[in-house]
RNA sequence: GGCUGUGUAGCUCAGUUGGUGAGAGCGCACGACUCAUAAUCGUGAGGUCGGCGGUUCAAAUCCGCCCACAGCUACCA
């Protein structure tokens, strides 16, 4: 059995249209999943939607449909984006309304209760009767008439107390800090880890983890401890429910599940807005329930539109489908990972995307493949050339390309797609220099054997690059490998079948065989054309 | 306010434990080539390394202060 690799995206709260920020997270996680599959791991990739909560219930009521109907409609939008727009290779699209998830969430609750970490008390806060929800202190203000109102909705709020179950988060600050210290890669990037650590060092308050004011949620299981009994009907406060999806996806609580081997998760990929929930609440819940902790939480940044936040009011929200239609899926996937470090905020613009597409994809990679394959097609009888004795320059560029897999493995361990791609494109730069320096179009007339060597070396570099970028641009990479005459195997990282065969990383050192037929090449990465 | 971090060529950024005359990519200018998707290759442009002061034989790299910007400062997800 191969080593397992279990990774997840955050589950989306499907109360609106997905935007490019959602796509960013799904694409990055997909690239990670594909890379690991190509590298022979037994991968499980989970994504999905977080469907409970008061807001969903209210929206459904406004629309005159059931919460489940609303949730299904919106979950379908996200799943459709994964399937038909972004080509996300998830293994399961989990919904928090799935039956096995309900059982899972109730079981982790029972275990936290059994650990003595749950008690009954009252939750108090500023409550808006009109909005039927609580507001945090800083979400309210006192208006000119001396009335406290919710800033967001402008409705009056009153100090209200509601029965609620609490989780003894305050007991876990020291344990969490010890865990962070012992596992320096648990939270990345470092700057986010610092924020989390400082926060925990400041002390943790217990957490309200149930509500009675609405019922669109997973029911809190019957208490076993008499002190926890109540007549009121509680549903789980959303974070216990939502976070638990990650273990549901690994078969919890079924001890015999074949999915059990995937836990603990290797990687949770999330946005910076929910780092606290994943780096503090989630590990505390798991510690309480006696479940192993995930190995790493990678926190990515947000995307800005030409330096400005995306917002509906500015009208600059980018929808993934529109981008994919305009630039092409592989360009979008490449751009998002190549343009800025994962973990830092990024800024995108039309010009930026086009620059990457033309300079990196069409010119640097696409044209290198096209010029070398064209020469092979025209001058070597349409088959992979026969290399002769290799010069120091040949050896150098081949060695640089050969080293990329280890470079990628190192960078991917930290989800540093930016540097991984940078390293690959450095080799492409050098290969273009090599090609120009060797002048195979001159050798064609002066030294055909040498020309064949140069072309073979170039094709070998392109083959390795193509193998690597299957993870990032599965469609284009497949075309490239087709053009090189590499036998098809599996599906560019979409499934675990990609871990073997001539297109897997197991075949990294299987050089192109001279004599293999090469078809007449056509450009794999056309330049950007704007239809105006 | 507190905490954390950032501030290096037009743009995006690299710059290990302080030490060859401060770098890359993109964009730009000029030149070369013609196999190739008007692609590619070479050269250049001379940036007080945010500011001031200090430590040192020597600092972008250490210390102090200041300025600017960003993030975090708990229960909407």
Query: What ipTM was reported for this prediction?
Result: 0.90
- Per-residue confidence (pLDDT) for residue A531, from 0 to 100: 56
pLDDT band at A449 (very low <50, low <70, confident <90, very high): very high
Annotation: CATH topology of A4-103+240-339: Rossmann fold (3.40.50)
Distance (Å) of CA A114 to CA A14, A167, A208: 33, 12, 17
Annotation: CATH topology of A362-517: Isoleucyl-tRNA Synthetase; Domain 1 (1.10.730)
Percent of chain A with pLDDT strictly greater than 70: 96
Tell me which residue of A429, A451, A448 sits closest to A439, measured CA to CA.
A451
- Of residues A141 and A342, which shows the higher confidence score? A342
- Per-residue confidence (pLDDT) for residue A343, from 0 to 100: 82
- Per-residue confidence (pLDDT) for residue A138, from 0 to 100: 67
- Looking at domain A117-172+179-235, its CATH class is mainly beta
Q: How does pLDDT run across A486-498, given as a tens digit for each residue? A: 999 999 999 999 9
A38 has pLDDT over 90: yes
**Token digits of residue A60:** 């459904």
Strands A140-142 and A42-49: unpaired
- Per-residue confidence (pLDDT) for residue A16, from 0 to 100: 77
- Per-residue confidence (pLDDT) for residue A213, from 0 to 100: 84
Nucleotides of B under 7 A from a protein CB: 3-5, 12-14, 25-27, 33-42, 70-77
Residue A136, CB, less than 7 Å from strand B? yes
User: Domain spans of chain A?
Assistant: 4-103+240-339, 117-172+179-235, 362-517
A428 has pLDDT over 90: yes
Side-chain-side CA neighbours of A348 within 13 Å: the count stands at 26
With distances taken from each CA to the C1' atom of nucleotide B13, the closest residue turns out to be A340
A305-333 mean pLDDT: 82
SS3 A122: strand
With distances taken from each CA to the C1' atom of nucleotide B32, the closest residue turns out to be A436
A203-215 mean pLDDT: 91
Strand B: which residues 95-124 of A lie within 7 A (CB)? 123
Q: How does pLDDT run across A70-122, given as a tens digit for each residue? A: 999 999 999 999 999 999 999 999 999 999 999 999 999 999 999 999 999 99
A300-320 mean pLDDT: 76
A194-220 mean pLDDT: 91
- Per-residue confidence (pLDDT) for residue A313, from 0 to 100: 67
- Of residues A149 and A454, which shows the higher confidence score? A454
Residue A529, CB, less than 7 Å from strand B? no
Q: What is the 3-state secondary structure (H, E, C) of A307-355?
A: CEECCCCCCCCCCHHHHHHHHCHHHHHHHHHHCCCECECEEECHHHHHH
Q: Which residue has the tokens 């977080």?
A: A50
CA of A420 to C1' of B73 (A): 34
SS3 A163: strand
CA of A192 to C1' of B54 (A): 33
Residue A237, CB, less than 7 Å from strand B? yes
Q: In the predicted model, what is the mean pLDDT of chain A?
A: 91
Global pTM value? 0.94
A288 has pLDDT over 90: yes
Residue A445, CB, less than 7 Å from strand B? no
- Per-residue confidence (pLDDT) for residue A307, from 0 to 100: 67
Lowest mean pLDDT among A54-58, A236-240, A303-307, A458-462: A303-307
Distance (Å) of CA A186 to CA A64, A181, A266, A300, A354: 44, 9, 10, 14, 36
- Of residues A229 and A312, which shows the higher confidence score? A229
List the strands of the sheet with A207-208, edge to edge.
A133-135, A118-128, A158-167, A207-208
Distance (Å) of CA A154 to CA A143, A147, A151: 10, 11, 5
Q: Which nucleotide is nearest to A208 (CA to C1')?
A: B75
Residue A366, CB, less than 7 Å from strand B? yes
Residue A470, CB, less than 7 Å from strand B? no
CA dist A187 and A341 (Å) reads 16
CA of A451 to C1' of B56 (A): 57
- Per-residue confidence (pLDDT) for residue A1, from 0 to 100: 64
CA dist A72 and A75 (Å) reads 5
With distances taken from each CA to the C1' atom of nucleotide B26, the closest residue turns out to be A355
Residue A359, CB, less than 7 Å from strand B? yes
- Per-residue confidence (pLDDT) for residue A532, from 0 to 100: 44
Q: How does pLDDT run across A369-416, given as a tens digit for each residue? A: 999 999 999 999 999 999 999 999 999 999 999 999 999 998 899 898
A452 has pLDDT over 80: yes
């Amino acid at each position: 059995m191969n080593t397992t690799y279990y990774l997840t995206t955050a589950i989306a709260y499907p109360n609106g249209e997905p935007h490019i920020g959602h796509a960013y997270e799904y694409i990055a996680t997909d690239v990670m999943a594909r890379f690991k599959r190509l590298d022979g791991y037994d991968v499980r990739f989970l994504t999905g939607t977080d469907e409970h909560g008061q807001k969903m219930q209210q929206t459904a009521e406004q629309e005159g449909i059931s919460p489940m109907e609303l949730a299904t409609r919106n979950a379908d939008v996200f799943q459709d984006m994964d399937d038909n727009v972004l080509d996300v290779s998830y293994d399961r699209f989990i919904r928090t309304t799935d039956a096995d998830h309900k059982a899972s969430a109730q079981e982790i609750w029972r275990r936290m209760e059994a650990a003595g970490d749950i008690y009954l008390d009252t939750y108090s806060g500023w409550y808006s009767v009109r909005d039927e929800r609580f507001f945090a202190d800083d979400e309210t203000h006192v208006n000119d008439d001396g009335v406290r109102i919710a800033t967001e909705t402008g409705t009056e709020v009153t100090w209200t107390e509601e029965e609620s179950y609490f989780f003894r988060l305050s007991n876990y600050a020291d344990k969490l800090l010890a865990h962070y210290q012992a596992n320096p890669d648990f939270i990345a990037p470092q700057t986010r880890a610092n924020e989390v650590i400082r926060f925990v060092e400041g002390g943790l308050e217990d957490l309200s983890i149930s509500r009675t004011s609405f019922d669109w949620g997973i029911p809190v299981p019957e208490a076993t401890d008499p002190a926890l009994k109540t007549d009121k009907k509680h549903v789980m406060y959303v974070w216990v429910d939502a976070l638990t999806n990650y273990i549901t996806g690994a078969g919890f609580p079924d001890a015999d599940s074949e999915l059990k081997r995937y836990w603990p998760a290797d990687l949770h990929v999330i946005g910076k807005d929910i780092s606290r929930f994943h780096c503090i609440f989630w590990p505390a819940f798991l510690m309480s329930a006696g479940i192993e902790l995930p190995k790493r939480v990678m926190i990515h940044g947000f995307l800005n539109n030409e330096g400005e936040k995306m917002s509906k009011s500015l009208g600059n929200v980018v929808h993934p489908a529109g981008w994919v239609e305009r630039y092409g899926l592989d360009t979008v996937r490449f751009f998002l990972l190549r343009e800025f470090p994962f973990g830092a905020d990024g800024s995108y613009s039309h010009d930026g995307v086009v620059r990457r597409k033309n300079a990196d994809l069409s010119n640097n990679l696409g044209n290198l493949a096209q010029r070398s394959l064209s020469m092979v097609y025209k001058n070597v009888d349409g088959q992979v050339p026969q290399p002769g004795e290799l010069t120091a320059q040949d050896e150098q560029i081949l060695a640089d390309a050969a080293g990329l897999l280890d470079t990628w493995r190192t960078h991917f361990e930290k989800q540093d797609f930016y540097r991984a791609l940078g390293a690959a494109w450095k080799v492409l730069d050098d290969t273009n220099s090599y090609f120009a320096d060797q002048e195979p179009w001159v050798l064609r007339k002066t030294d055909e054997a040498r020309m064949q060597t140069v072309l073979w070396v170039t094709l070998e570099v392109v083959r390795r690059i193509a193998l690597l970028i299957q993870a990032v641009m599965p469609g284009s990479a497949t075309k490239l490998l087709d053009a090189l005459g590499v036998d098809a195997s599996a599906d560019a990282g979409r499934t675990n079948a990609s871990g073997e065969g001539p297109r897997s990383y197991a075949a990294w050192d299987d050089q192109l065989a001279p004599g293999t037929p090469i078809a007449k090449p056509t450009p794999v990465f056309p330049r950007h054309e704007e239809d105006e």
